[in-house]
Structure 1
Amino acid sequence: MLELAFSAQDLAHTRFAFSPVWEAVASVRVLRQPGDYALHLPWVKETRARIGEAGLDIGLLADLVAGARLPGFLAATPVTPVPELAGELAELRDIPAALVRRSLDELDPPRSAALNKFYRDPAAGLDRLADLVEAYWRLAVEPHWSRIRALLEGDILYRSRLLVEGGADALLNDLSPMVSWKDGTLTVAHAHVSSSLPLEGCGLVLVPSVFVWPKVFSKTDSPWQPVLRYPPRGVATLWERGGSPTSGALAAVIGRTRAILLTELDAPASTTELARRTRLTAGGVSQHLGVLRAAGLVSAHRAGRSVLYSRTNAADGLMATSGQVDC
C-alpha cells in the first residue's frame, strides 16, 4: 500500500495529463498477460495479428515491462497536458545514461541479454528503444488512437467538473476503487508497494490510461514529478461495436435516438465516437446533439482537437427518474 501525504502546495500543483508513450508501454503488458486484462481481448487478438504480419520483434519492450516494477525512464511523467508521440520519444532519447542504469538496477533479476546490452550502452539502447516504441505504436495503438484519445480527454473533462463541483474530496475519491482520499492522504492499494511518502510540494500528475485497467500504476521516482495512472471513466465501452440499452420511458419522451445518445454520454464523447458506438451518421449525431444542447440536456466543451459532449445535471436527473442511472 502506498500513502501519499499532500500539503496545500501539493494540491495546488496537482494536474491532469495523458501520455501516448505510456499507452504503448502499458499495452505491451496487456499483450504479455491478456488473462489479466480481459476487457482488452478484442484488441489483443487484432494487435497480435498485426505484429505477426509485420514481423516486428518487441522483445526489448517486453523485457522492460516483465516485472512488477517498471523502469522509471520508460515512460517519464508528461510535462504537458496533451503531449505528442514525437515529443515524448525525443525526451526518451535524451534520458541520462546514469538514470537508465539506475532504473535497470532496480528491476527484478535476472536481466535478459537484451537488457544487459542496453545497460552497457544506454545511449544506443535508448535510440533502439525509441525506434521500437514508434514502430510498435504505429501497429498497436495508432489505429485506435482517436478513440482512445477521446476517452482520455472525456475523462479529464468529467473529473475537472467533479473538482469544480465537489473539490479535491470528490475528485480524488472517484479515481478508482483502489484509490482513496482522507485527511490529506491519498492511499493507493498496490500489491507490491508498501511506503508512506510526503509529496513535498511537487504535487501529483493524474494520468488516465486505458491499458492500466483494471489496475492503477504509480511512480514516485526522482527526478520525475510523482504520477498516478488510473483507468478512465467509460473504458468498458472502448472496444464495443454496438450501443447501450436505453429506457423505453425516456425514449417515449425525447425520442429513441436522443435517448440512445444520452445513454452513451455516461462519459463525455465526441460526435465521431458517438457515431461509431451507435452506428448513426456523424451528421445525424450532430443534429440530435444540437437539439439536446438547446434543451439544456447536453453541454459541449473543446478538449484539444476535439469537441466533447457531456450530459448536464438536468439530463442526469431525467435519466435517474427514468431508471437509467443510479444516483
Structure 2
Amino acid sequence: MLELTFSADDLAYTRFAFSPLWEAVAAARVVKYPAEHPLHRRWVEAVRPRLAGTRLDPLLELIGPRLIAAFACPPPTSPAPDLALELAALRRQPHGRVADDRAALGLPPSSDPQADLDRLADTVAEFWDVALAPYWPRVRTLLDGDILYRARLLASGGAHRLFADLSPGVTWMGDHLRVPRSRPGALALDGRGLLLVPSAFVWPKLFSLTAPGWQPLLRYPARGVGTLWERTERDAPEALARILGRSRARLLALLDEPASTAALAVRTGLSPGGTSQHLTALRDAGLVSAHRTGRYVLYARTEIAEALLAPPP
C-alpha cells in the first residue's frame, strides 16, 4: 500500500490531466500482454495485423508486467497536451534517468542515450499512427468525460468524495490517501499536489509515480472504459440527418470503430464511389479523419462528430 500525505496546499494543487504519450505506452503494454487486458481484446484484434510490420522493440523492452520505465512517459505538463509536445519532452529526458530506469528493468546500459531516446520517440509516433490515432477521438471523449465527472465530485463533496470514487482500494482518511501498490511506501507531497491522470488502457491496475524528481501522479482507469470498444448500431439523430443528409449521417453513426471505404459501402449498401464521395465531404467538414495503415485507409469520427452524435445530457 502506498500512503500519500496531503497538506492544504497539496489539496489546492491537486489537478487532472490526460496524456497521449502515456496512452500510447499503456496501449503498447496491452499489445504485449493481451491476456491481462480482456476489455481491450476487440481493439487488439483490430490493430495487431496492422502492427505486423512495425518494429516496437525500443518501446516494448521498457514495459514489464508490473513496471514501466518512467522516462518513457513523463508526467504531462499541461492539462491536455498533444503528442508532439510530449514526444519533445521525451527526447529531452536526462540521460542519467534513462540509465537508472533501464537498470531497474534489468536492461543493459545504453551506449548512446540520446540516439535511444530519439529512436524511442520515433517508435511511439509510429505506434500512435497505426494503433491509436484512428481511435483517439473516442478515447479522448472517454477521458474528457471522466475528468468532467470527477471535477463535479470534487466540487460537490471535496477530496473525500473524489477519492472514494477513483478506484477500488483507494481510500481517503484525514490527510492521507492510501493507494493499492505491490511495494509499500509513504510520501509527503510537500506542496507539489497530486496529478490525476485518467487512462483508457490502465485497467484493472493503478500506476503511481512517486520517485524523486518527478511530479507525483496517479494513473487510474477512466470511468466507463468497459464500454469503450462496444459496437452500437445506433441510428443517427434525425436532426443531424436533416442537416447532413441521411447517407452521411448514417456513415457517421457507423464509425463507432474506424473502417475502410469498402467496409462502409458493404454496411450501408452504397456504392464504393458514393461512399468515398460522402466520406470526402465529411472529411472536408472536419467530421471524419483518414488514417493510412499499410494498403488501407481507415476513416474515423473526429471529436466534433462524437459530440454531434452524443445523447443529450
- Shift of the alpha carbon at 1:173? 1.0
- Other-structure match for 1:293: none
Provide the identity percentage: 48
Q: Which AA in structure 2 matches 1:155?
A: D
The 5 A counterparts of 1:29-44 are 29-44=29-44
The 5 A counterparts of 1:111-260 are 111=107, 116=109, 119-190=110-181, 192-242=182-232
Q: Which AA in structure 2 matches 1:24?
A: A
Equivalent-residue separation in structure 1 for 2:252 and 2:227 (angstroms): 10
Aligned residues: 254
Contact 2:137–2:306 (CA<8 Å) still a contact in 1? no
Contact 1:150–1:273 (CA<8 Å) still a contact in 2? no
Q: Which AA in structure 2 matches 1:201?
A: G
SS of 1:208 mapped into structure 2: strand
SS of 1:28 mapped into structure 2: helix
Counterpart check, 1:5 vs 2:20? no
- Other-structure match for 1:250: none
- Shift of the alpha carbon at 1:151? 0.4
SS of 1:186 mapped into structure 2: strand
- Shift of the alpha carbon at 1:193? 1.6
Equivalent-residue separation in structure 2 for 1:185 and 1:155 (angstroms): 23
- Shift of the alpha carbon at 1:68? 2.0
Equivalent-residue separation in structure 1 for 2:94 and 2:221 (angstroms): 30
Q: Which AA in structure 1 matches 2:74?
A: A
Q: Which AA in structure 2 matches 1:83?
A: P
Equivalent-residue separation in structure 1 for 2:231 and 2:306 (angstroms): 21
SS of 1:131 mapped into structure 2: helix
Q: Which AA in structure 1 matches 2:144?
A: E
- Shift of the alpha carbon at 1:179? 1.5
TM-score, reference length from structure 1:
0.72
- Other-structure match for 1:95: 93
SS of 2:232 mapped into structure 1: coil
Equivalent-residue separation in structure 1 for 2:180 and 2:39 (angstroms): 21
TM-score, reference length from structure 2:
0.75
Equivalent-residue separation in structure 2 for 1:307 and 1:182 (angstroms): 38
Q: Which AA in structure 1 matches 2:150?
A: R
Equivalent-residue separation in structure 1 for 2:129 and 2:137 (angstroms): 13
Counterpart check, 1:21 vs 2:21? yes
SS of 1:225 mapped into structure 2: coil
Q: Which AA in structure 2 matches 1:224?
A: W
Give the superposed CA RMSD: 2.7
Contact 2:252–2:305 (CA<8 Å) still a contact in 1? no
- Shift of the alpha carbon at 1:65? 0.3
Match of 1:82 among 64, 67, 80: 80
Change (3 A) 1:304 1:227: farther
- Shift of the alpha carbon at 1:3? 0.9
Q: Which AA in structure 2 matches 1:68?
A: R
SS of 2:201 mapped into structure 1: helix
Contact 1:207–1:228 (CA<8 Å) still a contact in 2? yes
Contact 1:147–1:273 (CA<8 Å) still a contact in 2? no
SS of 1:23 mapped into structure 2: helix
Equivalent-residue separation in structure 1 for 2:151 and 2:89 (angstroms): 28
Change (3 A) 1:169 1:243: farther
User: Once the two structures are superposed, what CA deviation does each residue of 1:255-293 show, in whole Å capped at 9, x if it has no partner?
Assistant: xx99xxxxxxxxxxxxx998866xxxxxxxxxxxxxxxx
User: Once the two structures are superposed, what CA deviation does each residue of 1:103-123 show, in whole Å capped at 9, x if it has no partner?
Assistant: 22222x2x2xxx54xx22111
Equivalent-residue separation in structure 2 for 1:160 and 1:232 (angstroms): 13
- Shift of the alpha carbon at 1:310? 8.3
SS of 2:208 mapped into structure 1: strand
Q: Which AA in structure 2 matches 1:99?
A: R
- Shift of the alpha carbon at 1:306? 7.9
- Shift of the alpha carbon at 1:172? 1.1
Unaligned runs of 5+ in 1: 245-256, 259-271, 278-302, 313-327
Change (3 A) 1:306 1:237: closer
Change (3 A) 1:273 1:66: farther
Match of 2:57 among 56, 59, 62: 59
